[in-house]
Every structure is written in C-alpha cells, then in structure tokens.
Structure 1
Amino acid sequence: MDRMRLSGPDIGITPKPGGRGVVGMPVYMWTRKSAETYGPNTASASAGAVTVTATARVTQIVWNMGDGNSVTCTTAGTPYEASFGKAPSPDCGYRYSQPSTSQPAGTYHVTATSTWTVDWNGGGQSGQLTETRDSAVDINVGEVQVLN
C-alpha cells in the first residue's frame, strides 16, 4: 500500500466552483478517472522469496452535498456536457432545494469521500482492505424567481 498513491476524488461538478447553479436544476458529480483517483492502482513488494501484489479500486464515492444530504455513487459519475441540458445525471446527481445563501459562508461545501477496496495476494495468502480519501469544493447555488 505504501507504493500506491491513493487520492480523494478529482472532483468534477456542475455548477463549477466559482460559477453559479440554480435551485432545482440537476447537479452532476464525477471524478476524473486515473490510477490515483479511481483505480485500478496496482503495486507489488517483495521480502525474500515472498512477493505481495495489491490492487486498489474505488467501490463508492459518498458526496456530502453541504446541505445535510448525501448521495452515494457506485460509478465515477458522468461529466456534464451542455448537450445534456436539464436532464438529470444518469448515475451520480443531485438537485438542491434551497439556495446556498442559506449557509453561513454563502456556499455549499461539497465533500466527496472515496472508499478504496484493496485486494492483495502473495505468499499463499490473500485478503482485502479498505481505505478512504476525500476532497472538497465550494459551490454557489442561487434561486430564480419569476413574476407574472
């Protein structure tokens, strides 16, 4: 495990940090896939005649949305594209019901926590470990009011 670099998600989210989302509109969440942020990540170590190989993969990402709710995703998520319009994310999404101005900092602090499952074998033995890593961003979500 010491030879692996296991990181928290490389967060992709709409609205982008620094941008502004709208209450009720779909929020897409994803991580960019790499060996360090999603896996698989494989490393081996030897001591004498024994070699142990471990492979780590993210099995879930829990997104704490900053408003008291969380979303558990079992995929890396789908990056948002403008052609998706108002369609919800097919695999990892959310909708805010309140603007972020309701928060003390005026933003939602979104934390994504990856659970890494590490399978190892060597020396006639095998096993499984889990590790967690997290990353965070702040996003703005506004409210649109329509008058007749």
Structure 2
Amino acid sequence: MVDMNAKAILADYLDDFPDETEGRGVPMHVLVSIINSYISQYDNDRTGPVTALEALTATRLLAESMSASRGWITGEARREGASWTEVGHALGMTRQSAWEFFKKYAERPVSGFEHLAVSELAALGEKPTDR
C-alpha cells in the first residue's frame, strides 16, 4: 500500500531537485512503497495508482540510495575491522574489486551518510539512540 504522502514526497523532491542523481532527499521506505504499489497494482483511493514512470523513477532513486548506503556500510565494516576479503565476500565480489570500488568510502570520515540511517530509523519509529 502506498503511503498517502509517498507520491507527494517523490513529486516534490523531483520538482525541487530535477538534476539530483543520488536521491538522498527521498527516504528508502518511500521509494520501496512506490515500487511495491506499482508491482501489486494496488490502487489507493487517496493517491491513485502509481504509474510505470513513477515506479521507474523510484527504482532509479532507490538503486542510487542503496549504492550510497553500501559505500557507507562498507566504510563502517572496515572501521570495525573487516578485511577487504571479508567485505568482498559480503558484497559478492573479489577483494580487489571491493577495494577498488569502495576504498574511497572506507577512507572518508563517517559524516556524509548518517542521514540515510537516521531517516530509515525514523521510518521505523525509532530514534538513532535507540540502537
């Protein structure tokens, strides 16, 4: 079921940031809601059906947001002591591929992607300090 505000959040975001490619302003749960609504063809009386283009846009933004999250989580795993071999295995790639693609995330300070985790915790009704 599409959250009654999901389509409005996506539309507002795209209006405000038409050239944004990372989708950081739309919480992942909103994008998933839009995609699931399209796949299930659920018609919410308050929002109407989700169009194929809305679902396609949501999948693009979700993929970009997930990519950023993978980078941030990779950095966290490295800071927790995971080897590049372990990181590569977790990502389904070689150690070398993981290092080449994600080393910039492992080397950057923690700030920059916290909002992704915070927005997801908020969507679950939790505070970042609850975990």
TM range (shorter): under 0.3
RCO comparison, higher one (Cα < 8 Å, 6+): 1
How does the TM-score come out when normalised to structure 2?
0.27
Between structures 1 and 2, the one with greater strand share: 1
How does the TM-score come out when normalised to structure 1?
0.25
Between structures 1 and 2, the one with greater helix share: 2
Greater Rg by CA = 1
